[in-house]
Chain A
Amino acid sequence: MKRSTLIGTVMMLSLGLLANQALAEQVHSLRGDNPLDAQSKEPKSMKWQDDRDPISRDYVQQPPLTPHKTKGYKINKNFNKCLTCHSWANYKEAGATKISQTHFSDRENNVLANIAPRRYFCDQCHVPQVNAPPLVENTFNPLQTIKRH
């Protein structure tokens, strides 16, 4: 019994090692087939996209994309640059989209007087865009009920 367990373990281990090696040879990461110890190709520098009208959503519950540059915008405990235009108090004067009502609830669904701390860091979900081609080819298309195309 003891012996067979030992043999089994050794076999499993060596199989695992082999499988690992085989996998390692096949890995093609997004940074290309570059060996670890070599310099990878410098990525083309991208341009942040200029201001434009709101970008419509591609699927239900998609966090709307940021249709403008956010370079230099700071979000910390002292201050949130986004809210100087997008808060309920400021959106009208700024002509901006106001933050969703859902952002005032904490995870127990208590409605707070100000944006909930878990929704405070806007750029965790709402991101500005660059003129980058998709990293992976895909054929995704939004449904006609979400977006006309």
Chain B
Amino acid sequence: MSVYKKTKDTLQVVWTFLKKPTAKYSLGTLLVVGFISGIIFWGGFNTAMEMTNTQEFCISCHEMRVNVYEEYKDSIHYTNRTGVRATCPDCHVPKEWAYKVVRKIKATNELFHKVLGTIDTPEKFEKKRLKMARSVWKEMKATDSRECRNCHDYESMDYTEQGRRSMQQHSKGLDEGKTCIDCHKGIAHSLPAMYEVDPSAAVNTK
């Protein structure tokens, strides 16, 4: 009870202080100080958020470095003919600010499981792979593969420049209103045991 009262008292003091109009500082000073600290805080917030938006940050956890990062290094998004590279956040974090902040808040769940050590060995990771993959597929399906489309846009895709199979599949996909992830699963990371997803494309390992 006393702790509760103490907290209440402290809050009361802070509130009274904040409510009191200032008579000491000029409006100009307040504005300038407010403006500058606003820039610093906002800038600092965004810089910190951008720091968590780099590949170095992602692979600073061994769960990412030894599993999905190694697999990604085999993929076309890592090395290719033209040398354009898509790193982790390019595909896994939305570019638009509001969506990005929502994703960053959702990432607290990942921090929680980092602490629990849910996937801290390759064996544990493999056990959870289908579940984790499914949640990424679901999210990409829900956003109409928004992160893919930052670079790959149906509108700017010239099918006639594509190979025989791609041309056929892409024009068909567009007609049927499909989204990238419907077909392009496992393009950057190893797929989970796919027997449950497509029994005709895997052996039954159970």
Chain A residues proximal to chain B, CB less than 8 Å:
50-53, 68, 72, 74, 77-81, 83-84, 87-90, 94-95, 114, 117, 120
In the complex, what residues of A have CB within 8 A of residue B168's CB? 95
Using an 8 Å CB-CB cutoff, how does the interface string of B185-206 with A read, 1 for contact, 0 for none?
0110011111000111111110
In the bound complex, what is the Cα–Cα distance between A81 and B202 (angstroms)? 9
- CB neighbours (8 Å) of B203 from chain A are 77, 80, 114, 117, 120
Q: A83-B202, A87-B201 are in contact. List 19 more A-B contacts (CB 8 A).
A: A50-B164, A51-B163, A51-B164, A68-B164, A72-B75, A72-B187, A77-B193, A77-B203, A78-B193, A78-B194, A78-B202, A79-B201, A79-B202, A80-B202, A83-B198, A84-B198, A84-B201, A88-B200, A90-B200
Task: Count A/B pairs, Cβ under 8 Å.
Answer: 67
Say yes or no: A114 contacts B163, CB within 8 Å: no
Complex: how many Å from CA A53 to CA B168?
Answer: 13
Q: CA A79 – CA B203 in complex, angstroms?
A: 7
Q: Determine which of A50, A80, A83, A94 lies in contact with B169 in the assembled complex, contact meaning CB atoms within 8 Å.
A: A94
B interface vs A, CB < 8 Å? Answer: 74-76, 163-166, 168-169, 186-187, 190-194, 198-205
Answer whether A89 and B190 are a contact pair too, CB < 8 Å, given A72-B75, A77-B205. Answer: no
B200 touching A87 by the CB < 8 A rule? yes
Residue of B nearest to A50 (CB): B163
**CA A80 – CA B202 in complex, angstroms?**
6
The CA of A88 and the CA of B201, in the complex, are separated in Å by 10
Q: Does the CB pair A80–B205 fall under 8 Å?
A: no
Instruction: List B contacts of A80 (CB < 8 A).
Output: 201-203
| Selected contact of A114 from candidates B190, B192, B200, CB within 8 Å | B200
Q: How far is the CA of A74 from the CA of B74 in the complex (A)?
A: 11
Q: Which residue of chain B has its CB nearest to the CB of A80?
A: B201
How far is the CB of A112 from the nearest CB of chain B, in Å? 11
Nearest-CB residue, chain A, relative to B165: A51
Q: How far is the CA of A52 from the CA of B163 in the complex (A)?
A: 8
Top 4 closest A-B pairs, CB basis? A87-B200, A89-B200, A83-B201, A51-B164
Specify the chain A residue showing the minimal Cβ separation from B188. A72
